[in-house]
Chains A and B, each alone.
Chain A
Amino acid sequence: MKNELGRVINAIVLCLGCLGCLGPGLPAARAEVGVVVERASGSVQLVDNDTRAALARITGLGDLSHASLVYSKDARHVFVFGRDGGLSKIDLLARKTVKRTLQAGNSIGGAISRDGRLVAVANYEPGGVKIFDAETLEQLAEIPSTYGSEGKRSKVVGIADASGSRFVFSLFDADEIWVADLSEPRAPRVRKFRNIGRQPYDALITQDGRHYIAGLFGEDGLALLDMNNLDGGVRRILGGYGQGEEKLPVYKMPHLRGWAMAGDLAFLPAIGRHEVLVVDRRDWRAVATIPVHGQPVFVMARPDGRQVWVNYAFPLNDTVEVIDVAALKLVKSLKPGKTVLHMEFTAPGDEVWISARDDNKLVVYDTKSFARLAEFPADSPSGIFFAWRARIMGL
């Protein structure tokens, strides 16, 4: 492990280096830079996963329970979506918040358009999606998630960016998936898919932008939309995967974003079951059901697609397990600390960073030897987001 002085020097060199060589408009952050959400204190930590140095802490971001963020395309900025409806734009180079707006009462997450110009936020209260100019955070449009005949608004979940200035999202209370076309940012055109399955709770879009998949809370199965063929409509995959067996109480909803696509296989959390479901992307047929330690929350593939890492819901959330993709079997069980909330691979996938909220720390593992490489203090850490995400669609 590198010593403290080394880290400080690294940090200084890194920051001088950035300031010295990068003018406006040039890539501002290396893939090794990352942002860690500290949910209780409403702050984020800026870290370097190469030198393993904590570079800065940015505070005053409001209620960050369940917060997520996206990177600008040049990785210079991050947009942080707070639970309290706060949308904050942080300049990673200046290490400070440059814009902030309280855009709703209760928010769940957001996405950035593929051209980087628009930021969309999915809101619970008032239900709907708001579209902002990524440069200025000026609100350009609002899409209320109104459904049914009484004018009620649904909570919106699972928002993702799709090709051609589109955003796609799901309506938890309405059992609908909407595709919003923002070619004209102030005049969204929305296409609605109804009866897609009961209570979609989260969703993902594949890296190639082809498939949008929403997990269903109200029934077994997932809803699949082919973004290249909207006329084909939404179809059910893995319908009735529990074979009628009653599911366990669900104490935390799984997260689908951060997908696990490994080659042709997709690894998905079963809801209310101690299982990871494996499906073949070519025909969407079930390939395997892998019994695991608890109800999966995040199911994430190492960048080379040879391992899938899984963490679990309350009360079994002290454990992380590793699935070997070739063997479709668990190969390792780890206990990183109390209340594991998130995992993030470094760009080459040689390391994984894990947040252990109730131990107030981040733990770094070698993904090959499973050796524990380092630990870091962090204040109730939840999401960890490295800058390589800037280049990946759907993150």
Chain B
Amino acid sequence: MDRQYISRLNSTYAVASFRLAWLCAAAVCSAPLHCAEAGIAPPALERRAALTGMVRQDCGSCHGMTLKGGLGPALTPAALTDRPAESLVVTILSGRPGTAMPPWRNFLSADEAAWIVDQLQRGVLDEK
């Protein structure tokens, strides 16, 4: 059952997203300096829009659409700025066992998760 599920996900989502990310590896970043400093390969423009939608809606179903918290804690700059980005990336990709935070690695690459953390810490995604 699990394997079947994963393979279904792979065919629909992961493959598409990986392909997109790969194709667009050379894309420009919205804040080039910041991204370069952080060593993140920023996702392409269309993918960024998809990720922004995903964060607001699908992460939002637990963290609130405006990311001020819900079943999961707030993901606002005030909550996240002082937190090490790497560990937040790990949380997003692997989830937190024993809590309601699920792993997202079937839907997000490491670079995409890093981009999301960067956006969250700077408060870019929670603006309506």
Interface residues of A (CB under 8 A from B): 39-40, 63, 65-66, 83-84, 105-106, 108, 124-125, 155, 172, 199, 201, 217, 245-246, 248-253, 274, 314-315, 339, 357-358
Contacts and interface: CB of A to CB of B under 8 A. Distances in A.
B103 to A, nearest CB: 6
A125 B64 CA distance: 12
Contacts, number: 68
B103 A315 contact: no
A155 B65 contact: no
B70 interface: yes
A39 B103 CA distance: 26
Nearest to B102: A249
A248 B71 contact: no
Given A83-B64, A315-B107, A106 B69 contact: yes
10 contacts: A40-B65, A63-B68, A66-B70, A83-B70, A106-B68, A172-B71, A201-B71, A249-B102, A249-B103, A251-B58
A199 to B, nearest CB: 7
Contacts of A124: 69-71
B9 A315 contact: yes
Contacts of B71: 124, 155, 172, 201, 253
Given A108-B70, A124-B71, 20 more contacts: A63-B64, A63-B66, A65-B61, A65-B64, A83-B64, A83-B65, A83-B70, A84-B66, A106-B64, A124-B69, A172-B71, A217-B100, A246-B2, A248-B5, A251-B58, A252-B58, A253-B61, A314-B58, A315-B12, A357-B57
A195 B9 CA distance: 36
Interface string B35-74: 0000000000000000001000110111011101111000
B65 A250 contact: no
**Helix, strand, loop or mixed for chain B's interface?**
loop
A252 B61 contact: yes
Contacts of B100: 199, 201, 217, 250, 253
Contacts of A246: 2
A66 B67 CA distance: 12
Interface of B: 1-2, 5, 9, 12-13, 53, 57-58, 60-62, 64-66, 68-71, 95, 100, 102-103, 107
Contacts of B64: 63, 65-66, 83, 106
Nearest to A297: B61
Contacts of A357: 57
A339 B57 contact: yes
A135 to B, nearest CB: 30
A172 B62 CA distance: 13
Nearest to B95: A249
Q: Which 5 A-B pairs have the closest CB atoms?
A: A65-B65, A249-B102, A314-B58, A252-B61, A249-B103
B24 to A, nearest CB: 21
Nearest to A248: B5
A65 B128 CA distance: 12
Contacts of A250: 100, 102
A125 B69 contact: yes
A252 B1 CA distance: 19
A315 B13 contact: yes
Contacts of B57: 339, 357-358
